[in-house]
Structure 1
Amino acid sequence: MEVVETCGKGTLSAGEPSTKRTITSIYDDDEVVGFENDAEVIMMKLIRGTKERDVISIYGMPGLGKTTLARKVYNNPSIANYFDVKAWCAVSQAYNRRTLLVEIFKQATDDEIKIKEDDDVADMLRRVLIGKRYLIVLDDIWDVEAWEDLGICFPLGEYESRVMVTTRIEQVTKHLQHHSHPYSLKFLTSQESWELLEKKVFRGESCPPDLVEAGLQVALHCKGLPLAVVLIAGIIAKMKREASLWVEVANDLSSFALGEQSMKVIQSSYHHLDDHLKPCLLYMALFPEDHKIPVDDLLKLWMAEEFVLNSETENMEEASRNCLCGLLNKSLVMMYGRNDNRDVRYCSLHDVVREFCLRKLTEDKYMQLIVPYNPYQHLHSTESRLCIYIHDDFFKQSDHPDYQLDKIPMLNFKETNSLEFIAHPKLNTWNNQYWNPLDLIVKLRFVRALHLMDVALPDSWATAIQSLSELRYLAICVRQFELEWISHLHNLQTLQVKSSNKGIRLRAATLWEMKKLRHVNIYSFQVVWEDINDEGGFKTSMLENMKTFRTSNVRLDNMNARLWWRFPNLEELGLKVEDEPKFPLFPVPEVHTRIHSLSLSLPSMKFLDSVGWERYFEFPSNIRHLDLGGCLLTEEMALNIARLKKLESLKLFYGLTLGRSMSLCWDVTNVEFPALKYLTLCRVKMKEWEASEESFPVLEKLVIIGGFITEMPPSFADIPTLQLIQLIDCKDSLGVSVMNIKREIEENTGCDNLRVLMEKHK
């Protein structure tokens, strides 16, 4: 496979992709590796589907081989013979509309017609294409305006014509979308990477046996990026064929991989980022290589570092999410998995992008990890900020008896009073017998974000952070904790605390002094409401900035129910309840109109002898995501959930269904969940499930994990939106029932729209 990612000006002038070496091509051979499945999918989109003109878009990060895939499909004989007219042009960031249209016109007419300077090329092209089945490839589109410039020249009509577009920007594909969904290009597998490397290095010959193991190491270290494979192949092809030399390349791959060619590919995407997105991207490079960064943490860290717009307003969370979307849209950040709310759970930088970012941080004679000044952040100075990623080697050096900040190799300065540090340790790699983190913490007076969640701090931790008045983000693991110990941190926005001592009672009284708190997550503590001036101070002691509050071991009594009133703008609430409820969770549900996500874990066995507890579970009406654990699914409880007209995702786990005559049946025949798209049943004790055609009218995904259920409600065959049913560790009879529903849908609609996944982990 030859990776071609154009990033300069100019167009292609031949009837197929140019054979000239582009900035990222290594060889001119025709060997194409990988993309077999991808090519098959794209070809089906081209020759099947609607008779109307359709746009087939391929997107992904630079270096994934979008152009290579498009060329492979474009040159396929079956595709070449299927279309009456074919044309290919590279659009790129800078383009000339007339020049592009002239190139397309020449290819469409085999250059038979001469074009004069005053000719209306757009009209001439439309006339040539009308009534024909054409395929136009627009390679490397950067913005919607380019499509609007060119797309109007491609006539509509029922001739099965297609326009194939490649872009690194996902947002562009959403504007191009017609009948076909955009196609996201994935990374190569390790086997595909090795196959590509072998073909590039040995030019069709087999790799000698003594080099296979070293070659596999090189391929593996390319992390599935075709661009990196091709560049490395060009390097080792010129080396002596010695395994030891190849192993050296594998061990230091990132240094080799970013030659001038790939630097320019990444640079082109970075250059066109909005200014406020650049420090967000560079910041991610401070995390360890290949580290999957939890998105929830990352957004809060960006806020703590004041990288986002509207940092002093209630829209800070939305601004940080927009920053991540902007980077994802530019295909510079990789994402991994989605949670039950359909939000991205983890993100990371490919090694090539990360290496580029680290090099970018060293430009203009800056010191190694300097984050550039962001004009949107509210700082007292416009100077760049020096930020150090605190890693294991740093710890070992700081523990040395002669340790001084200016002795650290990466630093070369004399004054340290103005430094701001970022502390992000690698998870589970600290060796506490050789290093006490508190020795370093006391020297970081200007630290804004301190993430020490995976280190058990000694009991003296509270004294050590007394001087860290600039903290915005604090995540710690301690045995003892009281809010009064950190109540002086008036800039704190995010607080995460967990403990190995589950018997601690946490008094919430001093919480009200921390007015800037936005996100609180407290694990393994029993929260106790204590407020002597409760009656007099109720209206004044409000945390209006609080967006997220999660805690465990909380009691549902009248006092704690009033705690949520202190958070009038709360959006996410997560509670692990330790007892049977005796008061409503939300005495006046409509007080919390902004809550969109609620997670509630209950002690289910305590419900068995209770009567009327359901009346305590009337939820705020705007909830979109609801997780309920250990809950009895009675008819009244189902009705309480169904009253949530905006509910999109529902997860029920470790609960117990309770139908008529105390049977293990969840009967929602007369219940409708009007907006529910995602439903998960995790180890819910139910044997039967009854539902009507109206129960889940817009459901898209159903996941069932464990449990006793043996059969799906037949009405699921009548849900037009259903796309996926996933069964994990379920009874075989349930799988048979689901496959029967799938066959019924295919027979009734003629379409294979329902995917079924079955997994057995036991």
Structure 2
Amino acid sequence: MAESAVKAVVGNVSNLAVRETSFLCGVTNEVGFLKDELKRLKCYLKSGDAKWRSGDERVATWVSQIRDAAYESENVLEVADYMEKRNRLTRGFMGAISRYARLPSDLITLHKVGAEVQRIRRKISEIFDSANRLNIDLDTSVLDKGHVEDVFPREYGLMHQNFKDDAVIFGFEDEYKEIVDKLVDKENNTLSAISIVAMGGAGKTTLVRKVYTSSRVERHFDTIAWVTVSQKFKGIDLLRDIMKQIMGARDDFQMHEYEVGKEIHDYLSKKRFLVVLDDVWETDTWEQINKTVKAFPDVANGSRVLLTTRKQDVANHIQMPTHVHPLKKLDEKKSWELFSSKALPSYNRFLLCDVDEFEELGKKLARKCNGLPLALAVFGGYLSKNLNKDTWCDILLSWPSTKDGQMMRNILARSYNDLPDHYLRSCFLYVAAFPEDYEISMSDLIELWIAECFIPHTPKHKLEETARKYITELAQRSLVQVVDTSRAHGWIERIRIHDILRDWCIEEAREDGFLDMIDKTACHMGASSSDSMISYRASFQNLSDQVLQPATPNLRTLVGFELSSISLPKLRFLRVLHMANSNLKNLSLAIGGCIHLRCLRLTRCENVALPSSIGKLLYLQIIDLRKTKLDSMIPDTLWDIPTLRHVYLSTAFSSPRSVQQKDLQTLWLTCASVGTKYCYHDLVTFLEKMRQLTTLFLVMRPMHVEMLNIFAYMPHLVDIHLANFGVLNKLPESNHFPQRLRHLYLEADVIELDPMPILEKLPCLVVLELSGYEGRIMSCSAQGFPRLQELKLDRFSIKEWRMEEGTMPKLSHLKLWLCKKMRKLPEGLLHLPSLKNLKLISKPLISGDDTTLKELERRGCEVER
């Protein structure tokens, strides 16, 4: 991982604005020398890293020194670059003085930069000398280029493949049906439990998640909740999580355990409920949750508790009638089906001339996984990237005789070390910063990866495209689990990581000095394994009422989840601050001087006040304040930051008259009101300058019709979400919409004219969501919606839907919500060749005897009512 640090730094240094510039005086030459030294260091790393992993502790110290020098170099070079950026942006008389005469403060800073560069160069020289003393065989024959080539194989033309959770498909069909039947059993009205018990990696959580999200279960229970318990937990935290899920309540850190339990009890007394307790380790868990008040009442309505555990005594201990279901390992046939789907997927099979020989070897290798789905999936994913018979034979012959737990670790280490480059290894380890069982948004994760410089520049690819390939690679290797894919774009939208893989990543990240995990409700405490490998990244979880104390004042990344009354320290070298569901103190002081900050993400947080000096954070790429309570207005200086690419705000702001930043890609804004008409005009004027936007998400009241006219200034938009229009009398003509548009959401109190004749002409539209049309007739022509796959209609008052044959040839999902005047489904639905799913929500007045509905069901279309 030290190799990752230095390579990322050298790549970054080449992009810095520190060039031949008179203002840097003699520092320019020093900077050039330092860049050369870093390149030389990078060539030393591969052999040093390998020796360290073989157990040589002296090399561990040496590798750590390389990483520290690389990070220190980046910090000092960015200080010089920052001065250049700041002075170019400074306006007026003082700006002229600072640009041409040099202020004394600048001269002092330059002197410090020069001295620091010389100190680091001496440090690097000492590193080279120590390498010679340690007799480390260092190969310096090849210097890396400024970018990397695309390392991925040709199947990345298949990037938008369909990822599925295979555990239910391969081997658990009978268990799935049995558990669902027991949950919805109407003859058993007493509060009862089902405990699923098996070792780690056997598929417990995956199976229960399928059960939990099944349509039968969702229809049967009034309310459902899922909590992950883990090895250490606090009863109050579990109860708060359950309350938030069933009642939609915000985190309230002031409520005591009895109060939370009583609220849950009173609410569930009127409901048939299902509560899932996943990954329970201790026999007294149930008592801990119910110690102050019985949170889950038995009102004889068939409510259920579903529990997963690795321990038989825990499965039997819950204090209510309990059915214990031991989950069996996969038999040899099912093991091979799962293994072959990963090791020999269809896009690989056609490349092989001797598939039969691979299958013969594969069946022997599959047996080594002892029927564990996780081992089969990860090992199969690894072998899919190594389609070589000699490699498969060597693995089979050298397979160690180990127990299941060690076998899983060996497979994970093998798959991790086989990742194509150090960038991807960094991206994978970074996932461990998120809580157990956490659903990770890929757009959020990709923004973090880019802010961390984990995504290399490759020819003809945007950074986001390369990052999408990375996550596809991890999914194909079964190192992450795909939760959801975007129908509009075809890419992976949300992921999670299995707890066994996450635990392994945490251990590996600590060993490498890559990331420290501090979690008081799990077994992840302390610092990295070696004093010489201090981590520059830290993830804090489930802490309260304290000042965060990172292991190093040079911390570059601070991630936090569920932190109550936390005081943030001052961290001058911070690059990423990512906080969720937390109550923060001292934020303004903590980030006021963080000139290196790239990402400021504070979602669902409280007590947040941005410093007025935020406009001085000239490297900031991402600011995300979704669902966060701000104690102050957004400073206008935010829009002076030239590097901003993604902005997410849940509060009003005053639109600046002029902005430096015109390359924004994402603008996500929700606010109750934009104020006066004059303020609204300023907002429109402001938005018209955002010519590079790809995503526009606006929710405000009122949303003026004029907002639809801004599309003419945004040709690159692919995602549009506009809500809270009053009356929309007419949409713009189709040629006024961005022609690359793939996802459109429009919500109005009233849409007066049929929107379909306009929207059906958009050539790339894949997902369309409309709300509020009050016309009597809606018409779709024969050539309309050539690429539409998903259509959602809400609060439509139409009585007749006319559909010409040939319209919507690719529509697969249709959702009708509160379309109360529609008495029958249009016969035109029968001409949609791709329709697979129809949802009728809130009981439209469509009879179960509707001939179109019955014919759709007969053809295999899934109908949900």
Q: TM-score range by the shorter chain?
A: 0.5 to 0.7
Q: Distance in 2 between matches of 1:328 and 1:417?
A: 35
User: Which residue of the partner structure matches residue 150 of structure 1?
Assistant: 353
In the TM superposition, what whole-angstrom CA distance separates every residue of 1:362-394 from its partner, at most 9, and x where no partner exists?
A: 446888569xxxxxxxxxxxx98532211234x
Distance 2:766 2:351 in 1: 34
Distance 1:267 1:562 in 2: 54
Distance 1:667 1:388, change over 3 A: same
Work out the CA distance in 1 between the residues paired with 2:832 and 2:846: 21
Of residues 632-641 and 673-682 in structure 1, the stretch that sits farther from structure 2 once superposed is 632-641
Match of 2:843 in 1: 730
Candidates 564, 567, 572, aligned match of 2:687: 564
Asked whether the equivalents of residues 683 and 705 of structure 1 are also in contact (C-alpha less than 8 Å), the reply is: yes
Hey, what does 2:333 align to over in structure 1?
72
Question: Structure 1 residue 521: deviation in Å?
Answer: 0.8
1:358 corresponds to 2:506: yes
In the alignment, is residue 598 of structure 1 matched against residue 598 of structure 2?
Answer: no
User: Structure 1 residue 294: deviation in Å?
Assistant: 2.4
- Equivalent in the alignment of 2:819: 707
Residues 547 and 575 (structure 1), Cα distance of their counterparts in 2 relative to 1, 3 Å cut: closer
- Equivalent positions of 1:358-397 (< 5 A) are 358-363=506-511, 386-393=536-543
Query: How many angstroms apart in 1 are the aligned matches of 2:479 and 2:711?
Result: 45
User: Which string of whole-angstrom CA distances, capped at 9 and with x for unpartnered residues, describes residues 538-580 of structure 1?
Assistant: xxx3422534444434589543333233222210001124235
Matched, 1:756 2:836: no
Q: CA distance change for structure 1 residues 472 and 500 in 2, over 3 Å: closer, same or farther?
A: closer
2:663 to 527, 532, 544: 544
Partner of 1:492: 620
CA contact (8 A) 2:825 2:852 kept: no
Q: Per the alignment, in what secondary structure is the counterpart of residue 647 of structure 2?
A: strand
1:319 and 2:466 are equivalent in the alignment: yes
Q: CA deviation at 1:302?
A: 1.5
Partners of 2:786 and 2:625 in 1: CA distance: 38
- Aligned partner letter, 2:540: I
**Cα displacement (A) at 1:313:** 10
- The match for 1:278 is 425
Of the three residues 403, 413, 431, the one matched with 2:564 is 431
Task: Quickly say closer, same or farther: Cα 1:671–1:628, change in 2 above 3 A.
Answer: farther
**Once the two structures are superposed, what CA deviation does each residue of 1:248-274 show, in whole Å capped at 9, x if it has no partner?**
xxxxxxxx9973111122223222212
In structure 2, C-alpha distance between the alignment counterparts of 1:745 and 1:500, rounded to whole Å: 45
Instruction: Check conservation: 2:805, 2:828, Cα contact below 8 A.
Output: yes
504 and 692 in structure 1: CA distance in 2 versus 1, 3 angstrom threshold:
farther
Q: CA deviation at 1:324?
A: 1.3
The corresponding residue for 1:692 is 804
Q: Which residue identity does 1:716 align to in structure 2? A: L
- The alpha carbon displacement at 1:290 in A equals 1.7
Structure 2: state its 5+ residue gaps.
1-169, 178-199, 207-327, 378-401, 519-532
Shift of 1:624: 0.7
Residue pairs, 1:40-439, within 5 angstroms: 71-72=332-333, 140-141=343-344, 148-151=351-354, 259-275=405-421, 276-310=423-457, 315-338=462-485, 341=488, 343-363=491-511, 386-393=536-543, 398=547, 405=550, 416-426=552-562, 430-432=563-565, 437-438=566-567
1:462–1:486 Cα contact (<8 Å) kept: no
On the 8 A contact 2:510/2:535 being kept in 1, the answer is no
- 1:34 aligns with 172
**Separation (CA, whole Å) in 1 of partners of 2:684 and 2:512:** 56
User: What is the root-mean-square deviation in Å for CA atoms of aligned residues?
Assistant: 4.7
Q: How far apart are residue 679 of structure 1 and its match? A: 0.6
Partner Cα separation in structure 2 for residue 626 and residue 314 of structure 1: 26
Aligned residue pair count: 501
Question: Where does 1:641-680 land on structure 2 (aligned, <5 Å)?
Answer: 641-653=759-771, 655-658=772-775, 663=776, 665-668=777-780, 672-680=784-792
- CA distance in 2 between counterparts of 1:711 and 1:592 reads 39
The change in CA–CA distance for 1:584 and 1:452 in structure 2 (over 3 A counts) is closer
Matched-pair contact (CA < 8 Å) for 1:469–1:491: yes
Cα distance in 2 between the residues matched to 1:423 and 1:328:
24
TM-score scaled by length of structure 1: 0.56
Q: Secondary structure at the match of 1:290?
A: coil
Secondary structure of the corresponding residue to residue 616 of structure 2? coil
Partner of 2:656: 530
- In structure 2, give the amino acid aligned to 1:673: F
Alpha-carbon spacing, 1:227–1:643, altered in 2? closer, same or farther (3 Å): closer
* Distance across 1 between alignment mates of 2:861 and 2:477: 31
In the alignment, the residues of structure 1 paired with residue 460 and residue 668 of structure 2 have an alpha-carbon distance, to the nearest angstrom, of 19
Contact kept, 8 Å, 1:483 with 1:510, in 2: the verdict is no
Task: Kindly indicate whether the alpha-carbon contact (under 8 Å) linking 1:389 and 1:422 is maintained by their aligned counterparts in 2.
Answer: yes
Question: Deviation of residue 321 (structure 1)?
Answer: 1.9
Q: Quote how far apart the aligned CAs of 1:498 are.
A: 4.5
Seen in structure 2, the aligned counterparts of structure 1 residues 522 and 397 have a Cα distance that, compared at 3 Å, is: closer
Residue equivalent to 1:623: 741
> Structure 1 474/645 Cα, relative in aligned 2: closer, same or farther at 3 Å?
same
More displaced, 558-567 or 510-519?
Answer: 558-567
| Residues 549 and 573, structure 1, Cα contact 8 Å, conserved in 2 | yes
**Residues 636-665 of structure 1: CA deviation (Å, up to 9, x unaligned):** 533332231110110123x1322xxxx4x4
> For 1:285, what is the secondary structure of its paired residue?
helix
Residue type of the alignment partner of 1:386: Y
- Aligned mates of 1:694, 1:634 — CA distance in 2: 26
In structure 2, distance between residues paired with 1:679 and 1:442? 48
Aligned 8 A contact 2:751 2:774 in 1:
yes
Match of 1:217 in 2: none
Once the two structures are overlaid, the 10-residue window that deviates more, 332-341 or 546-555, is 546-555
Counterpart CA distance in 2 for 1:300 and 1:138 is: 31
SS at match of 1:733: coil
Alignment partners' CA distance in 1, 2:732 and 2:631: 29
1:465 to 2:591 alignment: yes
How far residue 452 of structure 1 moved from its aligned partner, in angstroms, is: 2.8
Q: Deviations over 1:720-739 (max 9, x none)?
A: 121221223323625543x7
Residue identity matched to 1:497? L
TM-score by length of 2: 0.50
Find the aligned partners of 1:657 and 1:676 in 2 and give their Cα distance: 22
- Give the letter for the 1:755 counterpart: E
CA distance in 2, matches of 1:616, 1:284: 41
> What's the secondary structure of 1:602's corresponding residue?
strand
Which residue number corresponds to residue 43 of structure 1?
Answer: none
SS of residue matched to 2:839? strand
Structure 1 or 2: more helix by fraction: 2
Q: Distance in 1 between matches of 2:403 and 2:356?
A: 40
**C-alpha distance in 2 between matches for 1:586 and 1:165:** 62
Deviation at 1:594, TM superposition (A): 1.3
Does the CA-based 8 Å contact 1:389-1:423 persist in structure 2?
A: yes
| Runs of 5+ consecutive residues of structure 1 not aligned to the other structure | 1-31, 40-60, 75-87, 93-136, 155-162, 168-184, 186-195, 201-221, 229-255, 371-382, 406-410, 747-751
Counterpart residue type for residue 315 of structure 1: K
Match of 2:813, as an amino acid? K
Structure 1 pair 431–73 and aligned structure 2 pair: CA distance change class (3 A)? closer
Q: Percent identity?
A: 22
State yes or no: 1:474 paired with 2:587: no
1:356 Cα deviation from its structure 2 partner: 1.7
Contact 2:744 2:768 in 1 (8 A): yes
CA distance in 2, matches of 1:731, 1:164: 55
State the distance in 1 between where 2:738 and 2:514 align: 51
